[in-house]
Amino acid sequence: MKQTGAYVSPHGLDKLGLTNLGAAHWNLPVPALYEAALSRGEGMLADGGPLCVLTGQHTGRSVNDKFIVKEPGSEKNIDWGNINRPIEQVHFEGLRRRMLAYLQNRDVYVLDTFGGADPAYRLPVRIVTEHAWQSLFARNMFLRPTPDESRAFAPEFTILCAPGFSADPKLDGTRSETFILMNFAERMVLIGGTSYAGEIKKSVFSILNYLLPARDVLPMHCSVNVGDQGAAIFFGLSGTGKTTLSADARRILVGDDEHGWSEHGLFNFEGGCYAKVINLSAEAEPEIYATTQRYGTVLENVVVDPDTRRLDLNDRRYTENTRGCYPIDFIPNASPNGRAGHPTSIIMLTADAFGVLPPIAKLTPDQAMYHFLSGYTARVAGTEKGMGSEPQATFSTCFGAPFMPRHPSVYARLLGQKMAKHGATCWLVNTGWTGGGYGAGYRMPIQHTRALVNAALEGKLDNVPTRIDANFGIAVPTACPGVPEEALNPRGTWKDGQAYDSKARELAGRFNDNFVKFEPYVDGKVKAAAPKLAA
């Protein structure tokens, strides 16, 4: 077997059963991965230097095709259900054998990486991909070993990704030809039938979300930045603004998506960013926009003019979920070590498609726990496989339920303990719709949201008078520098106040219905933080 690359690990691929390969390319630098991807027809070089690729039928995560192998070592720790679906070891073994056979006589790209910027908690992960561009994606996303670390790299988890290999549902126990199988006993993830690279990223996140709570570390689906007033956590699901709002030129970016909170403080799980780029503009989001115009960035499903090679970031012909993947140091003010102290502020982001939540509200500690467990947002069409044309209200506990293998109470308990010990002011911020719901109103202006978040982080809202929202019981500031006062009261932005009231009561009822399953795990104060369903 031919092997190329500067650092080939002594812990070779034969230990995984990968034999008779065409060639194994180890830890290739960016130029070599560009050359391979372009020569193999995997993508197109666009104006400015980004590598543009299409991911085919899967332009988002295949949420219903993810499984965890049911085995004695982890079985009692998994929160089995519609998210953490079980699959038997025999099916994993069968898929692995055929996947290894599929890869014979094919080239693979091997990348050794770390998940976790804190050396005390980092996880060595080996990522083996069929496509060169996916290896570049992983190189951007995760933390790279030093040359000395590469020579002795010993993976504790391996991800094997072969988009060209498909499952047989009748034979393999999968839902479709696409599969993401996680095996904590074998310390391996198998991905097939999809080219969407976000599956690799979220697999590493899911692994850490399982392993770290046992070490008293809270894994979080959040972005983190640091300013003069301290560190801030931004919780939120995809499309709520974590990446956009944390990329603030006046603050240091620790990371845009996935972090841990340990006894030492906050640390990034990753070494890169994976930003949505649909309708991105240089005026509204200059730091992220600049990454789409440079060499080293991987752009997924972005439209490129075949003649001029110029990008059209507003064209959604392939998907609404266009993405850019780039190293975090492409952001000028990024943290050099991916770490920060304990947070002074926590921002919980939601994109309310019903248009009834206020643009910002201050939460009590009990309300913070309530909204952390609720994890409300609303998805719009195109962000994930299988969604229809209408938006969908989503309650994703801990703002990241698809990636949390353990029971939500495990993560909630850790958050409560750390908030009580270190203290932090918590805010609920709606980056969704106002003036009506999706299709009738309009998206909250990013300039207003930035002004509100900055005011909250800088303490400018601490002494502002507030009103208590009649339906949700949260304290809404009545004024904020740089934001019209009328924008702070969502009811006043609707043409029909009674229509607002009806929709607000409807959403409050959904909160209450969703929270029933968490009531056995929380105390009375958290239960009392629920919406009141005003008449």
Strands (E), 351-477: 360-363, 376-379, 392-395, 425-430, 433-434, 442-443, 466-468, 475-477
**Annotation marks residue 202 as catalytic:** yes
**Annotation marks residue 238 as catalytic:** yes
Q: What are phi and psi of 181, to 5 degrees?
A: -110, 125
- Among candidate residues 201, 202, 362, 448, the one labeled active-site is 202
- Among candidate residues 276, 323, 385, 448, the one labeled active-site is 323
d(CA 501, CA 120): 50
d(CA 401, CA 407): 9
- Among candidate residues 122, 242, 251, 379, the one labeled active-site is 242
**Annotation marks residue 61 as catalytic:** yes
Please name the residues in contact with 522: beta carbons below 8 A apart, sequence gap of 6 or more: 369, 370, 373, 412
Cα angle value 380/239/245 (rounded, 5°): 150
- Among candidate residues 194, 238, 322, 344, the one labeled active-site is 238
Q: Which two tokens stand for residue 431?
A: 């980056």
For residue 493, which of 450, 430, 535 has the smallest C-alpha distance?
Answer: 430
**Annotation marks residue 221 as catalytic:** yes
**Annotation marks residue 323 as catalytic:** yes
DSSP 334: B
- Among candidate residues 174, 243, 246, 262, the one labeled active-site is 243
**Annotation marks residue 443 as catalytic:** no
Q: Are 452 and 346 within 8 A, CB to CB?
A: no
- Among candidate residues 25, 221, 342, 450, the one labeled active-site is 221
Q: Are 113 and 158 within 8 A, CB to CB?
A: no
**Annotation marks residue 257 as catalytic:** yes
d(CA 390, CA 160): 35
- Among candidate residues 25, 61, 122, 131, the one labeled active-site is 61
d(CA 430, CA 488): 11
Residue 299 carries which side chain, given as an amino acid letter?
A: L
- Among candidate residues 257, 431, 450, 493, the one labeled active-site is 257
Which residues are designated catalytic?
Answer: 61, 202, 221, 238, 242-243, 257, 323
